[in-house]
Amino acid sequence: MRLVVVGNGMAGARLVSEVRARDKDVRITVFGAETWQPYNRVLLSNVLAGTSTPEQVRLLEPRWYADHNVTARLGVEVVAIDRDSGAVIAADGTREPYDVLVLATGSEPVVPPIPGVERATAFRTLDDCDRIRAAAESAAASEARAVVVGGGLLGIEAARGLAGRGVPVTLLHLAGHLMERQLDEEAGLILRETLRDLGVDIRTGVTVSAVREREVELSTGEALPADLVVMACGVRPVVGLARDAGLEVGRGVVVDDELRTDDPAIFAIGECAEHAGQVYGLVAPAWEQAAIVADLVTGTDKHARYRGSRLVTRLKARSVELAAMGETHLTEDEAEIVRFSHRHKGTYRKLVIRGDRLVGAILLGETAAVGTLTQLFDRGGPLPYDRAGLLFPGAGGAAVADSPMRMPDAARVCQCNNVTKGQIRACWESGARDVEAVAAATRATTGCGGCRDAVEGIVGWLCEQEGVSA
């Protein structure tokens, strides 16, 4: 069988590795528009902040393709799909025939059509990150200022990374509070104050009308000094290739529960795919979809189906702990709301409960309860009567699922890679004595990185129980 994958990002690279793990004989060709080896886009904020290098966020080693008999066309864009003959056409004119085609084209930055926007830099790729890092180093040396446009996940991570490099930065956001899709107004306010204390000046409810030479102009006529401008105004699925090929396209490439398009030989996964009206912009759904398609195309599990994902959003900015999941905007009339707020400490915790099930949560600041709540949200199980015990694990004798001893083996520790405590235990029993060894065996911590503390805790606990050194 000839498998062609268009897109070598987080979804495409995972699919290729999943297929090869199941079948050694499938002929695989993958096209990547970027010249880089596949990397973890989720961790670009760490690269920008200087806490990780590009090599540390790489998903596959350079020799992986040759060692696994995979043809990788890096830096080669696919420009057309010939469905009649079953082939893709690359920008260099080559044609690659396929029996199965998987689109993993991802998404692209939304760039507002304002005068001078070409002077700004998007924050999406490793090349973007390199440009911003170089500009930030120059700005820090000359005491220049930076402006980040967009107060969602990427914008906040970019602003925090720049501030961490010593660059004075202002974050501009159109909505009334930060991360308005995931956070309520109070959480957005506390996040704003937390970032302010870390050196990020924030302006909400503002509209950028133009990017001028060394300044950003607002719709009010006010001009802000800006030697570096970063655009983080959201993303949209890359669907042009699919649309030109006559495939059904909504917001993304429309797929069914098998992740097939309306052409049974063509699948779509990741940020370019639209399943049941939903486009997912996080890594965990993309990797879950990759595993399902790998099962189907190799025949490993012909009954594999995708039923959608329950999303947990983690902000990856140094010194800022934030997790949000599910329906966070329901009111007291629609659900039971349990809330704790301590603005001075930068702490906000909110549970949204309906039918004795956790349907949403926001955890900002000290997030010791995030493991417990993520498990409850993911499993959809009934909640204990003591709601306050969920917000303050250990304070009132409530069971603490974050404690390795009390955490069941079935508890999912790494959401991105669907790794349970039991799998980590089995890895440890097989000789993995540190986080790096566990990550190599299970891929835990290699997604958003938010589970690293939990994995370290489990490994440390196991070592302590057996009296061995971690």
Q: What is the pTM of this model?
A: 0.87
Rounded to whole angstroms, the Cα distance separating 152 from 110 reads 13
Rounded to whole angstroms, the Cα distance separating 112 from 217 reads 14
Q: Span 185-196, mean pLDDT?
A: 96
Decide if 104 contacts 11 (C-beta within 8 A): yes
Rounded to whole angstroms, the Cα distance separating 470 from 461 reads 9
pLDDT value of residue 404: 67
Instruction: Render pLDDT for 18-27 as a digit per residue (tens, 0 to 9).
Output: 999 999 999 9
* Residue of higher predicted confidence among 266 and 419: 266
For the ranges 298-302, 383-387, 427-431, the maximum mean pLDDT occurs at 298-302
The tokens describing 224, both together, are: 């802000």
Sequence-ordered list of residues with C-beta below 8 angstroms from that of 294, at least 6 positions apart, any chain: 15, 18, 19, 21, 22, 300
Residue 316 has pLDDT above 80, yes or no: no
Query: Domain locations in the chain?
Result: 2-107+236-298, 117-233, 319-402, 405-470
Decide if 352 contacts 326 (C-beta within 8 A): yes
Band (271; pLDDT cuts 50, 70, 90) = very high
- Fill in the amino acid letter for 370: V
Phi, psi torsion values for 405, nearest 5 degrees:
-65, -40
The yes or no reply on domain 2-107+236-298 and CATH 3.40.50.300 is: no
Decide if 391 contacts 385 (C-beta within 8 A): no
The tokens describing 86, both together, are: 């079953």
Beta bridge mates, 121: 230
pLDDT value of residue 104: 98
Residue 464 has pLDDT above 80, yes or no: no
pLDDT value of residue 323: 92
Band (443; pLDDT cuts 50, 70, 90) = confident
* Fold adopted by 405-470: Arc Repressor Mutant, subunit A (1.10.10)
Rounded to whole angstroms, the Cα distance separating 298 from 23 reads 6
Residue 376 has pLDDT above 60, yes or no: yes
Rounded to whole angstroms, the Cα distance separating 207 from 217 reads 9
Q: Which CATH superfamily is domain 117-233 in?
A: FAD/NAD(P)-binding domain (3.50.50.60)
Taking CB atoms within 8 Å and a gap of at least 24, the contacts of 430-436 are 432/459, 433/459, 433/463, 433/468, 433/469, 433/470, 434/459, 434/470, 435/459
* Fold adopted by 319-402: Enolase-like; domain 1 (3.30.390)
Rounded to whole angstroms, the Cα distance separating 420 from 378 reads 12
Band (394; pLDDT cuts 50, 70, 90) = low
Band (396; pLDDT cuts 50, 70, 90) = very low
Q: Span 354-362, mean pLDDT?
A: 95
Decide if 111 contacts 70 (C-beta within 8 A): no
Degrees to nearest 5, angle at CA 234 with 200 and 267:
145
Residue 136 has pLDDT above 50, yes or no: yes
Buried b (16+ CB within 10 A) or exposed e, 231-264: bbbbbebbbebbeebebebeebbbbeebbbbebe
Residue 407 has pLDDT above 80, yes or no: no
Q: Span 222-251, mean pLDDT?
A: 96
pLDDT value of residue 445: 81
Q: Span 323-350, mean pLDDT?
A: 94
Beta bridge mates, 323: 314, 363
Instruction: Render pLDDT for 240-270 as a digit per residue (tens, 0 to 9).
Output: 999 999 999 999 999 999 999 999 999 999 9
pLDDT value of residue 405: 60
- Fill in the amino acid letter for 376: L
Range in 208-217, 222-231, 401-410 with the lowest mean pLDDT:
401-410
**How confident is the prediction for the chain on average, in pLDDT?**
90
Rounded to whole angstroms, the Cα distance separating 128 from 229 reads 12
Instruction: Render pLDDT for 156-171 as a digit per residue (tens, 0 to 9).
Output: 999 999 998 889 999 9
Fold match between domain 117-233 and domain 319-402: no
Residue 52 has pLDDT above 90, yes or no: no
Percent of the chain with pLDDT over 70: 95
Q: How far is CA 444 from CA 58, 179, 409, 427, 455, in A?
A: 15, 26, 15, 11, 8
Band (467; pLDDT cuts 50, 70, 90) = low
Degrees to nearest 5, angle at CA 260 with 255 and 264:
135
Q: Span 8-17, mean pLDDT?
A: 96
Rounded to whole angstroms, the Cα distance separating 464 from 32 reads 45
Q: Span 103-112, mean pLDDT?
A: 96
